[in-house]
Every structure is written in structure tokens, then in C-alpha cells.
Amino acid sequence: MRRRLALALFAVAALGVVVVGASARRDRAPQGPAQPIEFWHSVHAGENKIPCMYCHYSADRSVDAGIPPVQLCVGCHVPGSNAPTANPATAQLAFPTAQRDSMWHAEAQKLVDYWRRGEAIPWVRVHNLPDHAHFPHYVHVQVGLKCQTCHGPVEQMQRVYQVAPLRMGWCIECHRGELPLSPEEERLVQARSSFIQKMRAIAAAGGDVRGVWAAHPKQRASTDCTVCHY
Amino acid sequence: MKRRDFFKVLGASGAVVGCTTNRVERLIPYVVPSEEIVPGLPTWYATTCRECPAGCGLLVETHEGRATKIEGNPQHPISRGNVCARGQAAVQGLYHPDRYRGPQIVEPGVEAREVSWAVAEAQLVQRLREARAQGRAIVLLTAPRTGLLDRLFDEWARAVGAERIVYEPMPAGPRGLDLASAELIISFGADFLETYGSPVDYAFQFARMHAVAEGRRGTFLWIGPHRPLTGLNADAWLAPRPGTEAVLTAALAGEVAPAQAAAQTGLPVEEIARWAREVATRRTVVLGPGAALAGPYAPALRRAVDALRARVGGVAVDSYGGGPEVAELAERMRRGEVGVVLVDGDLDPLYNLPAALGFAEGWGRVPTRVSFATFPTDTAEAATLRLPAPHFLETWDEVEPVPGVVGLVQPVMRPLYNTKHTGDVLLSVAAQLGATLASAGGAVTFYDALRRAWSTRLGGEDGWREAVRVGGVYPRVASLSAEEMSAAGLDSGVSAPPAPATAGAGAAVPALAARRNPRPADPATLPAPEGADFHLVVYPSYRFYDGRSANRPWLLELPDPVTKVIWDSWAELHPTTARRLGIDQGDTIEIATAFGRVQTYAYIWPGVRPDVVALQMGLGHRAFGRWTAGLGVNPNALLAPVADDTGHFGAYGLRARVRKVGEKERLIPGLPPRSIFEQGVRVQYNRELAQAISLAELRQAEAHGPAAVPGARERVTNIRGNGGFTPVTEPTDPAAYPPRGTKIGEYVEEAPRWAMVVDLDKCIGCGACVVACYAENNIPVVGPIQMRKGREMAWLRIERYFHPGDQPDAALADGATDDVRFLPVMCQHCGNAPCEPVCPVYAAYHTPDGLNGQAYTRCVGTRYCANNCPWKVRVFNWFTYDFPAPLHLQLNPDVTVREKGVMEKCTFCVQRIREGQRRAHQEGRPVRDGEIVPACAQTCPTEAIVFGNIADPASAVARAARSPRAYRTFETLNTQPAVVYLRKVTLREPIRGGHHAGAHAEE
């Protein structure tokens, strides 16, 4: 009996270790996953204050945020390249000749190699949703949310790591108004959310919105299943 | 703890670790981005369909360089934004897994060898030189073409010393006719709603002239021994004795007394007299003879039809088929006189030609047999040199279906494989032989030649770019409002573009049109087997045309619009004939002519004359890909090797013998089925699903209100209270949905209520909507075995009923084809849905905007919802179905691909609704009426489906729902369906099912 109990406890402990270990997401490790090129957002979005949508160019108009094409990187980083955005002055900035042996030089050389081979850089995906959830970036960008609200302080990250759980419950919490937003974002969301506008219009016309607003008086967006799952 | 126990625990824990995933997903950027593509959004290209000669203008949706969905170009005068089932299935041709991937050299007894284009062309050049040196003929066999490729074919043949033969397997029919302003259409076996002429255009025009909703109410008379889908949409059917159609036609023209015609044709004299009167007094359009009447009887019929047509003011435009030339070619090939034969990719002579012609034997004797086919057709599989052309969705071309409409074919994506445009091959080979082709204008590639010619015609590069942007040069139609046009990125101006100089560009009907075969088959002298007391009819297929689109799985899975048979061939017999011969539905029968025999399954219905056996074209290929090879039977095996007066090989006029050779066998699991499967039932069992109203009754209802519609009053009092939804017994606005007093749940009042109106008076039952739904919603094809088990995955089906009552035998009675009802059935998105309360996990639920939602991720597969659905429109994923590469490239990324264990159904294209709502909000405006169009409504050639927000009283769907013809199916169950049907309008009083059965006599 005692042996059985010990065995059971051991099994539970082993299972627990395994489960906890397995659920420690790689992506949430402070460093983030290693990428083909050691690209630091802290240098580009942080120190050089390049706007998010300079590279992630379709975030405000498409369901996908967009990954910068190789040509975009080349525009600054490859001196003498044919890229239309090649600019000797900025290329100089990104390619300090005084430190030809530095790690940055090696990484930028990797970029040059990809460009010369005509090959796409196979970035490791950090933020991913399952195929059955359709997330339209542009709706969220246009309603006034900042990229950092969901993606965290990317401009301070060296390697990108996932900050938000990206689980459906987390999305629902924000849709229901239970996740706090910055005052500026809250102001924009209140002004622009189609859901809030519709609710206000119905209430103004004397319609019945209690079914929706009684449960979640601060609801910002629809929580209807078919808005995301179809 | 014992060591073994330790290892057991460790092993179990290890298994758990294996349950997590370390899969890394990658994000692949562009290297140099395309300026046109925004990742995640579709990019649309205008092009022209090449599935048949009609040349409908298309807009093709692509996602990141992959074509995913075909839609019609709303500005195009032929398609008007609509596409038929074959056009929708064109993407399955593009992504067919068995396409040729590159040029191949085939040597006898050796596997096909993949070679480079240089090597393949070099071999062709060498063989051409050899043939010339040996004095053997070089023959170029092409389909009728227009435009640059047509001219190149001619010039290449002259330059190389080849002979060009133009062959058309079945009469294509004239395009560009005006049907919409006709008051009477008479069709002699011309299936203008399916394959004849320009079916998408003609279906639209037919709805214009025939449908009550369009205000006009023309009449359509079908004449022929067999009644296909087009015939079932006719108001009347005259089936004269085979071979006597000419005298009937003469009677209609007033040249012969009706009594004389009645005696010869076996038709009632008052019928003939009545229609002769109609012809004399109403604006009449005469169509035909169609492909089903091609054959030995055609010459006499054509003379009479031409005379009738001349009398009513039409022009005869029957194209020439080239049959005698092909017959002669077969003879020369057999004699060894031909050194090289090249066959256009659009042709499959080894399939389409009568087997008795001996073309296959002759073909085998030609040392160099070249095929340009994209697919492994029967002909290409027997070739020695395969030079595959690209699919039309990945290449350039031009086509001029009617004068003044020049369609540009442009690639909507990069070619998938190492294919080369036939024009490029011709230019390259000509250059290697030291010849230049003048039409190329000095260009080296077909694309350059095309572009130069267009730029010149249109006055420069700007003209070319504009033509590419809109898919050609054509007078634009405004089938959408100006707002809708600009929302779709089309300009609303309908100013006429500069007319292209089409002189020499190829007339709409090739110059061979005037040709006639001086020695057509004479029905009197053709041999017949002993006991041949049947007339043979071989008619074109809506799904497969002449066989060319039989390799598309969607089209194989789509039940035939008339017989509802899937994945197989059949032969149609009249019920009295079947009784006489002791043949049951599904028995194996042999049909034999003097020239061949086939064995297939019997289909018993009254849509053929008792002395006729009818077979549909399209199946019976030996090759043509994994789903089609060996499927069905090829009726061309029965034809005589003599062409009719327009040079086509047809069956009408041949005598056939029919006898039973086997019983229908029951389905044995694991073995191939030994009979056909007819999906659905033929009668409505008194359920009043597809309802009709006569024109007279409709006028009554319009004058005295909807309560004047027969049965309306009883129906309202029959509705039962159901789950909090009390029936509303006073007449209410049908558009007030759901009616007052029936609100339940979190429905928010001013949210849109999505609803659909289907006009059964316009629906012709073709099934284009079904294929569009497959394309848009990633619906898998399950194949014949699973379909026989009732596991079809179609979200939308077309029910076809011959009789509203509950006697299945009524569908076999002679008048059963006079009032056939087609009913498109999809999820009705009931306001009081029976499927919603029974889902244990809330996967089936009601959205605030009136949709019956299905959350795939919640579904655990109890299937209770499907059990409860009265319409049985819910389908279950019994397996995780395969989309064999590269068909998976067609999948719509905006719709989840479902897995095993999940229930699915029509969503009213919720992905389009959400997209439309988001876009509208993005632009700061409300959703416009007509902006959100589900795939089915979008493609319907007759525009029978209207969709929109029924809560908006001004919307098209609300206005349509207020028609006195409006009703809902299974209304008495009080499930509050969001789909409203408009009754079909009949000339005579329709037979009624339900408790009206027997109450009204059929006139």
C-alpha cells in the first residue's frame, strides 16, 4: 500500500515536472527565440525610433501585419545596393566601417548574403494564432490600440518574445473591457469602436441593450463567436 | 519502488512530453515585394474564361500569388458578373494534380521522359524536316480559335508546309443573340442554358424574358426527343417522332397544315396549331438545331429550322465542324501518309471522335504525334511528344467571342509548371525552320506579339494597360450601381472604349461558318443492328461540356442537374419502355448501334420519348487524371463515322438496340459500386417545399393581396407555437422578420438581420451556386463511395422535384416533366432554430445579426444538431478530408478548413459579411445594400438569389420578400427561416401537394 502510494506520488511529481517544463514556452523565455539574423528591435524601433509600420506595413489595412521584405532592410543596410531606398548616408550609419569586425558587421553580412542570393529570411514566428481564429490586424490598429498593448515593449526588446498569452480568454477580456488600456487608447476605442457606436445608437433609439451591457457594461467590442471563428 | 515501476512511470511521463509541440513556424517575407499585393488581402485580376467558347469576362481572386476563387466581371457584357459551374471549377483545372509538368518525349515501350523545351522543340523540328523530306504530310489539328493564336496557326501551317484542319467536336452554337427581347423562344434541342452558344449570357437573358420579377413573361417551347435541363425550364415540350421535326417546323412556320404535321409527328393537332399561332403573332427567336440533334437527321431539320428562322427574322449561324476533313485525315493516317500530327490542347480527338472512324488506329500509325494538351487527355496519353500549354489562368491570350467584345486572357499567377504557350512553341519552331510569322509583328514570344498588336490597336501603352486592367476591350455594362462599382474598384463609367480594329482578327464565327458538308450521313442508308428499335440521342453535359471538364472533382461530385446522378454515366429510358423490357432503375443495359456498343446503367424517367435512349456526353475517358480515368462510358463509341451537314458527328438519326445485361447490384462495402446513385428523391411527399403559382393566380394575388394565394390562409393557421415563438396569424409584412412577438434571446434590435430571397421562377437548377460554394468555403470532395453513404459535404444543394405529392410513381408519369421544381436548399438560418438548443457545447448558436452560427472549435461531434434540422442541411466531417496537392493552393485562407469530428453548414458566407462590415466601418459608413454578396448569389447566372439585411425595409431582400409569391419552406414548423423563396410561376395551374393534393385537376 505504501509502495503504491509512493509510486503514485512519484508519478504525479514526475508528470508535474514534465507538464510545467513543457508549458514553459520557448517564446516567453526572456531572450526570445533565436532568429536567422540577430535583429534587435531595441536598435531599430528603440534607438532609431523607426515607426512600427515602416516595416510591418500592412498592419493598418490588412488582416496580416506584414513582415518587412528583404529589400526594405537592404535599403538601409547594404551600401551601393540597387534598392530604391538605398541612401549612402544612412547606409553609413548602419554599417560603421570603424568596427568592421564587430558582431553587427557579421549579422549585416548575413543580410547581404540573403539579398545577393535572392533568398527570403526565414524568421521564426513568435506570435501565432491557430488557423481557426481569424484575427484582423487593421481593425485593431485603426481603433487606436498601440502595438505595444498586445506585443509588449517591443522597442525595448532585443530578441522579440511573446508577452501576452494570446489565449482566447485574454482577447475576450479586452473585448469586454476588463483589461485596462492607457487613457489615450481608451479614449480612441470609445470613439471608434463599431460595437460601442452600435450600442449607443440602439440605446439612443430606445432599444433594449440590457442583454449585452448588463453583463459587461464596459464592453468595447463584440464577443460573438462568428466575429473571429468562421 | 521497483526498477520496472520506475521505468513505467518514466515512460508514461515521456509520452506526455511527446504530446507537446516544438514545431517552429516560420514567417517568410518577400525578397522584393509585389506592388500589387497587400499580404492578407486578396488581389483581383481581370481575365477571360476559356472553359468553353463563350468567353465570359472574369475577375479572379488571388491570395499572395495563388488563384483561389473565380467570379464574373460585373462590367463584362457576356458574363455580367456571373459564372457557370464550369467556370467556377476552372481553378480545379489549374491545380489538378495530374497536369503535365513539362515537355515529355514518349518512346514506344518506354516511360515518358521529361526533357527540356530546347530538346523537345529540337525533336519536333527534326521530325518536321524528316516528314518534309519523305514527302509525308504534316497536319495541324486545332479547335476553332479567334485572334492572334488563330492567325499564328494559319501562318505556321503555311510556313512549315503543314495543313491546318479546324475541328469542332460538337456544334458550339451562335453567341451574342438577343433573347431578352423575345416573346417566344423556340429551341430545337439547343441547350442554351447549359452549353449552347453563350450559356451564362443566355441564362441571364432568359430570366429577363421569362421571369415574372422582370416584368415580362415570355414563353419558351422546347422541341426535341429528350428533355435536358434547358428543356425542363421550358413552358412546353413537343417531342415529335424522331426524324419528323422538319415537318413540325414547317407547320410552325405556317407552310404546312397542322393536321398534316400532326399525322406525321404523332403530336396533337391543337398543340401544333396553337404554337403556329404563337409564332405568327409574337416576337420569336429560334435556336438550334443543338448538339443533341446533330447527326443524320440534322440536315433536313436544319433546312426547316433555317426557314422558320428566316420567317421570324433571325440569321442562321451554324458553325462548321470539320468532321469530313478529320475523317479523311484518319484515313490518310491509317495509310501511313502522315508524318507529323500536332493537336491543339483544347482538343481530344481520341475521345470525342466516333470510335468507328478509326482515328485511334490511324493515330497510332503516325510516327510523330504531338499534343499541346495541358492535361493527360486520351489523345495526349497516346502522343509521342507532349508540349503542354499552360492553363488559361496562368497565361496570355485573346479571344473574340462576338464582334466588338475582345477578351484579354491574362495570367493571374505564375505558371505552376514548366509549360509553354502554344504560340511560343509555334514561333520558336518556325524560327528554327527559318520562317517568320507575320502576325507576330517581329516579336519572339506570343506575349510580345499580343502586347504589340494590342498597343497598336489601342493607340499605345496606356491603352494596353487599361485593357489588362479590365480584361479586354468591350462595351461595359452597368450591372452594379455606381457606388457598388467604385466599392469593387471598378470605374462606373460606361463610356464606350475605342473600338479595336478587328479586321482580320478573326470573326466571331470562323470563316468556315458558311461551309457545309456536301455528303452528309443519310439516315436511310445507315446500318442498324438487329432489333434496333430505339433512336439514339447523345446530348452535351452541363458539367462536362463535350468531356473537356470531366476531370474536375467538383463537377464530378455535383449531381447532374436533371438526373441527380453522381460520379458515373447512365442511359435514359422512358418508364413504359423500361417496363416493357423488364429494366429497373440502375440495371446494367447494353446500348448497341451498328458501330459500337456500351454498357451502362439505366435511368428511368419520362424525359425521353418511349422510342429513344439518351446518353450524356462527357465521361468514359481512358485517361484524364485520377478521378476520371475509366469512369463511366463514352457515347462516342456508338456514333457513325459520317458527319452531318455542318460537319459534326452526331447521334441523332442512328438506330440502337437496348437490352438488359445485368441487375442492379447492392452496394457491397469495399467493392466498386455496380450501379448508379441518384441523390435525393423525385417527389416532395406533400411537404410543399418547392411551390408554384400560376400566372392567373398571381395576378389575383397582386390585385387582392397575398391572402389570395391558394393555401396561404391554411398555412398561416397551421403554424404551430414552438419554443416561445407563437405563430402570428394575421397577415404581416413577410419582410418583418422575425415577426413581432417572437423575439427570444440576446437579439439586439437594430442589428442587421441577414436574410436571403431565392426566386424559384428564375432558378434554372444549374448548380453553379453549389460549385461556387465549394470554391469559397473549402468544402472537401468526398467521392462516390462516401456520397452513397449519405456523407456528402455540400452546404448547398439543388433539390429537383417532379411532383409535389407523395406517390413516387407520379414522377414517372408522362406529364411529370412539365412542372419540374428546382429548390436550392441551404441552412435557413432559422430564428427559432431546432439545431441550436440541442447542442451540448453551444457550438450551434444564434448570432446577434441573425445568423445561425457554427463555432467549429467548440463542436464535439454529437451530431444532434443535424438530427434536429428539418432541412438536413448540416453536414458532418466523418474524416479529415484530403486536398491533394496542389489543389490545396485553391483553399480560401479566410475560411477555416475543418477537421474530422466537426459539423459544418452554410454560413451565409459569414467571412464576407464580417469583411464587409469591417470595411464599411473602416470607411466610416454603413454597409451598403448589395455590398455583401455570398458566393452563391454572386455567381448565379440568372441572379435568382438576393441577399442582404432584411431589417432595412429599403433593401433589395426586404422588397423581394414582400412579393405575393413569397413563402418559407417548412413554414408550419415555425422555425422562422431567414430564407424566403418566391414561388415559381407556371402558365397553367400547377399540381399542388400537401392537403391540396387532388383538389385541383391538372389542366
B959-969 b/e with 16+ CB inside 10 Å = b? Answer: bbbebbbbbbb
Beta-carbon contacts of residue B866 (< 8 Å; ≥ 6 apart): B835, B872, B874, B875, B876, B903
- β-bridge mates for residue B57, sequence order: B48
CATH for B534-662 (2.60.40.10, 3.20.20.80, 2.40.40.20, 2.30.30.100): 2.40.40.20
Q: In B, which residues are within 8 Å of A17 by CB distance?
A: 13
Enter the DSSP assignment of B367: S
CA dist B229 → A50, B540, B560 (Å) = 63, 11, 9
3-state secondary structure B406-450: EEEECCCCCCCCCCCCHHHHHHHHHHHCCCCCHHHCCCCCHHHHH
Terminal alpha carbon distance of chain B: 92
CA dist B843 → A226, B215, B863, B914 (Å) = 10, 44, 11, 19
Q: In B, which residues are within 8 Å of A123 by CB distance?
A: 26-29
SS3 of B368, please? strand
Whether the CB-CB separation of B870 and B975 falls below 8 Å is answered with yes
B38 closest CB neighbour out of A22, A61, A68: A61
Give the pLDDT confidence score for residue B110 in this predicted structure.
Answer: 87
* Runs of H (alpha helix) within B187-297: 199-210, 229-232, 245-252, 258-265, 269-281
The span from the CA of B1001 to the CA of B1003, in Å, is 6
Instruction: Give the tens place of pLDDT for each residue, B270-298.
Output: 999 999 999 999 999 999 899 999 999 99
A216 — pLDDT class (breaks 50, 70, 90)? confident
The span from the CA of B190 to the CA of B290, in Å, is 4
Enter the DSSP assignment of B514: G
Chain centroid, CA B483 distance in Å: 30
Give the pLDDT confidence score for residue B751 in this predicted structure.
Answer: 75
A86 pLDDT more than 70: no
Tell me what percent of chain A is helix, strand and coil, each rounded to the nearest 5.
50, 0, 45
In a domain, A16, yes or no: no
Give the pLDDT confidence score for residue B730 in this predicted structure.
Answer: 62
Is beta strand B571-573 parallel, antiparallel or unpaired with respect to B596-604? Answer: parallel
With CA atoms as reference, the chain B residue closest to A124 would be B26
Enter the DSSP assignment of B692: E
B25 closest CB neighbour out of A62, A125, A226: A125
Task: Answer with the residue of higher pLDDT: B782 or A202.
Answer: B782
The span from the CA of B167 to the CA of B165, in Å, is 6
Joined together, the cell numbers standing for residue B203 give 441564362
CA dist B19 → A28, A129, A132, B22, B934 (Å) = 19, 19, 20, 10, 40
Looking at the complex, report in whole angstroms how far the Cα of residue B775 sits from the nearest Cα belonging to chain A. 15
With CA atoms as reference, the chain B residue closest to A4 would be B1
How many structural domains comprise chain A? 1
Give the pLDDT confidence score for residue A202 in this predicted structure.
Answer: 80
Looking at the complex, report in whole angstroms how far the Cα of residue A67 sits from the nearest Cα belonging to chain B. 6
In a domain, A117, yes or no: no
- β-bridge mates for residue B286, sequence order: B186
- Using the beta-carbon criterion (under 8 Å), do A115 and B31 form an inter-chain contact? yes
The span from the CA of B156 to the CA of B408, in Å, is 22
The span from the CA of B80 to the CA of B206, in Å, is 14
The span from the CA of B850 to the CA of B827, in Å, is 12
The single-letter code of the amino acid at B57 is G
DSSP assignments along B318-346, one per residue: PPP--HHHHHHHHHHHHTT-EEEEEE-TT
Whether the CB-CB separation of B915 and B930 falls below 8 Å is answered with no
CA dist A155 → A195, B593, B942 (Å) = 31, 81, 56
B750 closest CB neighbour out of A69, A70, A202: A202
Q: In A, which residues are within 8 Å of B839 by CB distance?
A: none
The span from the CA of B485 to the CA of B483, in Å, is 5
ipTM metric:
0.87
Q: Does domain B184-312 have CATH number 3.40.50.300?
A: no
What are the sequence ranges of the domains in chain B?
Answer: 104-171+322-394+418-459, 184-312, 534-662, 692-996
B910 closest CB neighbour out of A137, A142, A230: A230
- β-bridge mates for residue B944, sequence order: none
- Using the beta-carbon criterion (under 8 Å), do B847 and A136 form an inter-chain contact? no
Joined together, the cell numbers standing for residue B719 give 403554424
Give me the CATH topology for the region B104-171+322-394+418-459. Rossmann fold (3.40.50)
Which has the closest alpha carbon to B877: B900, B848, B852, B910? B900
Q: Looking at residues A98-103, what average pLDDT do you find?
A: 58
The span from the CA of A49 to the CA of A33, in Å, is 23
With CA atoms as reference, the chain B residue closest to A229 would be B855
3-state secondary structure B87-153: HHCHHHHHCCCCCCCCCEECCCCCCCEECCHHHHHHHHHHHHHHHHHHCCEEEEEECCCCCHHHHHH
Q: Angle at CA B943, nearest 5°, toward B938 and B944?
A: 110
Give the pLDDT confidence score for residue B511 in this predicted structure.
Answer: 41
A64 closest CB neighbour out of B39, B745, B849: B39
Length of chain B measured in residues: 1003
Which has the closest alpha carbon to B776: B95, B98, B194, B91? B91
Ramachandran category for residue B879: left, alpha or beta (phi over 0 → left; psi -120 to 50 → alpha): beta
The span from the CA of B616 to the CA of B638, in Å, is 12
Beta-carbon contacts of residue B975 (< 8 Å; ≥ 6 apart): B722, B828, B830, B831, B832, B833, B834, B870
- Using the beta-carbon criterion (under 8 Å), do A229 and B748 form an inter-chain contact? no
Whether the CB-CB separation of B636 and B598 falls below 8 Å is answered with no
Beta-carbon contacts of residue B296 (< 8 Å; ≥ 6 apart): B520, B521, B522, B523, B526, B640, B642, B644, B650, B652, B653, B654
In a domain, A221, yes or no: yes
CATH number for the domain formed by residue range(s) B692-996: 3.30.70.20
With CA atoms as reference, the chain A residue closest to B852 would be A226
Whether the CB-CB separation of B107 and B94 falls below 8 Å is answered with no
SS3 of B66, please? strand
Q: In A, which residues are within 8 Å of B13 by CB distance?
A: 11, 14-15, 17-18
Q: In B, which residues are within 8 Å of A118 by CB distance?
A: 31
Terminal alpha carbon distance of chain A: 53
- Using the beta-carbon criterion (under 8 Å), do A226 and B31 form an inter-chain contact? no
Whether the CB-CB separation of B94 and B393 falls below 8 Å is answered with yes
In a domain, A84, yes or no: no
Which has the closest alpha carbon to B393: B774, B66, B119, B659? B66
Give the pLDDT confidence score for residue B971 in this predicted structure.
Answer: 86
B855 closest CB neighbour out of A58, A66, A229: A229
The span from the CA of B24 to the CA of A32, in Å, is 13
SS3 of B657, please? strand
Q: Looking at residues A4-11, what average pLDDT do you find?
A: 81
The span from the CA of A108 to the CA of A124, in Å, is 18
With CA atoms as reference, the chain A residue closest to B8 would be A11
| Bond prior to B367 in cis (omega within 30° of 0) | no
SS3 of B597, please? strand
Cβ under 8 Å to B: A residues 23-42: 23, 26, 33
Enter the DSSP assignment of B722: B
- Using the beta-carbon criterion (under 8 Å), do A123 and B29 form an inter-chain contact? yes
Enter the DSSP assignment of B952: S
CA dist B132 → A21, B129, B139, B328, B608 (Å) = 78, 5, 12, 20, 52
Q: How many CB pairs under 8 A join A and B?
A: 161
With CA atoms as reference, the chain A residue closest to B912 would be A230
In a domain, A33, yes or no: no
The span from the CA of B427 to the CA of B435, in Å, is 9
Angle between helices B446-457 and B461-470 (to 10 degrees): 110
Does the CB of A61 have a partner CB in chain B at under 8 Å? yes
| Maximum pairwise Cα distance, chain A | 78
Preferred mutation among A7, A35, A225 to probe B, highest tally of B CBs within 10 A? A225
Cβ under 8 Å to B: A residues 64-83: 64, 66-71
Residue-averaged pLDDT of chain A:
84
With CA atoms as reference, the chain A residue closest to B920 would be A194
Give the pLDDT confidence score for residue B89 in this predicted structure.
Answer: 98
User: Residue A216 belongs to what domain range?
Assistant: 167-230
Does the CB of A208 have a partner CB in chain B at under 8 Å? yes
Give the pLDDT confidence score for residue B672 in this predicted structure.
Answer: 63
By CB atoms closer than 10 A (0-12, 13-18, 19+), residue B901 is middle
Residues of chain B with confidence (pLDDT) below 70: 1, 7, 9-22, 216, 479-514, 666-673, 715-717, 723-724, 728-734, 736-750, 994-1003
Q: Angle at CA B681, nearest 5°, toward B675 and B683?
A: 140
Backbone phi and psi for residue B489, each to the nearest 5 degrees, phi listed first: 80, 15
Q: pTM for the complete prediction?
A: 0.92
CA dist B523 → B328, B519, B617 (Å) = 21, 12, 21
